[in-house]
Chain A
Amino acid sequence: MKCRTARQKIRLLVGNDLAQNEIEPVREHIAECDPCQQHVEDMVDSSDVLTSYSGEVLSQRKTSVWESVVDQLPPQLEPAVPRGRQIRQSILVVAAVVAISVAGVLPDLIPDSVLMGSAGVQITKPESVELPAGEYVRHYSDQSWQSLESLDGMPRGNRRGPVRNVVGF
């Protein structure tokens, strides 16, 4: 065994991390090699230091961290959704996002009928907005919601954002 290999194994041996069948050849090498014998002593010394440090009492708590953790837990873990349903749901979400983005980014490039076609995506009503049921677009200047009825006659280029059906919020 070469000294380099022996030393690598000695470093494992000091912590009992050497497989049983690897120990004997290392012992044989150490018995005949003074520098490796010295390496054993150095490694045992520094291992003792780590052992005494490992026994040091670290921070002790009187209460469980659970008391703080429980306050921050979501009310209930999301129930596991069967794989097939998960994929179908993802497809629906992606479709909805694409519909909203297309309508929002390209209002001027697509005809009114298509723009209207993206409507009907279920959206969450913004907290601050009070709107009766109907069809809406965002006004390009101040981003306020305008009902389609009130925009009759406004040039299409002035409209921005997705058309949204606000139904029974």
Chain B
Amino acid sequence: MTTSTRSAVAESVTTREADTDERNCQGFNDARLVEMTREGSHEAFAELVRRYESRLIRVISRFILDPVMVEDLSQEVFLRAYRKLELFDASRRFGPWLFQIGVNMTLDHLRKTQRRIKWTLFSQKRSEDQRTIDPETADPRLSLDLSQEVRSVLDQIPEKYRTVLVLRDLENFSTSEIAAITDRKEATIRWRLAEARAKFQKLWTARQQRDSIAGRAEVDNV
């Protein structure tokens, strides 16, 4: 057997082993995958990453607009989870624990860059909008679509309420899951949720009224 044939065979064996590992891992529950990761299996951790990445990225995207930052942060969350895995209490569920790390890191990031974020949000809104707006004649608010408007209202809600609102009403976590993620009692979460919905409703209504007044004024000026 030539060297190249041998290495090709070796490669195909390795690939087959990796495939088998991947298939094997898909059948395990989270707790078993955590155990296997602790025993040194990268493939087990890869399976956990694949299970949770979409939802984690969605949750982070609810707080951070920049997709590159969202991706960086999601990687950091998984890396931190990996490093902290020895501290993970195996009697708890892995998902809420992972999202606890994710939400904490996201909020930390937001706090650190709060000032910068305001400016970034504004400039992103402008650049994301494909239409060209003449700042002299147009109100940029009128060009925002629904999601951008909702986002800007959410941004005005204090963090502890916004977090609960995002996790419950946008990402559909249960109140008991949110309690685990945020390390608060479920009663606290329910109270914050009610407050958060009231705050959103007030701010949303005020914004709609302001927009309709601005729209009427524009019509009058034509």
Contacts and interface: CB of A to CB of B under 8 A. Distances in A.
A43 B53 contact: no
B202 to A, nearest CB: 9
B194 A65 contact: no
The binding surface of chain A is classed by DSSP as helix
Nearest to B59: A58
Contact of A17 (B54, B74, B190, B198): B190
B64 to A, nearest CB: 10
A59 B64 CA distance: 11
A8 B54 CA distance: 33
A57 B191 CA distance: 29
Interface stretch (A68-76, A98-106, A128-136): A68-76
A132 to B, nearest CB: 39
Interface string A8-40: 110110110100000000000000000000000
A77 B53 contact: no
A9 B190 CA distance: 10
The binding surface of chain B is classed by DSSP as helix
Interface residues of A, number: 37
Contacts of B171: 54
Interface stretch (B6-14, B77-85, B93-101, B125-133): B77-85
Interface string B145-173: 01100100000000000000100111110
B67 to A, nearest CB: 5
A49 interface: yes
B197 interface: yes
A52 B150 CA distance: 10
A44 to B, nearest CB: 10
19 contacts: A11-B195, A17-B168, A17-B193, A46-B204, A47-B169, A47-B197, A50-B165, A51-B169, A52-B146, A56-B147, A58-B62, A61-B53, A65-B53, A65-B71, A66-B49, A66-B53, A73-B82, A77-B86, A79-B38
Q: Which 6 A-B pairs have the closest CB atoms?
A: A11-B194, A46-B201, A54-B170, A53-B150, A11-B197, A66-B49
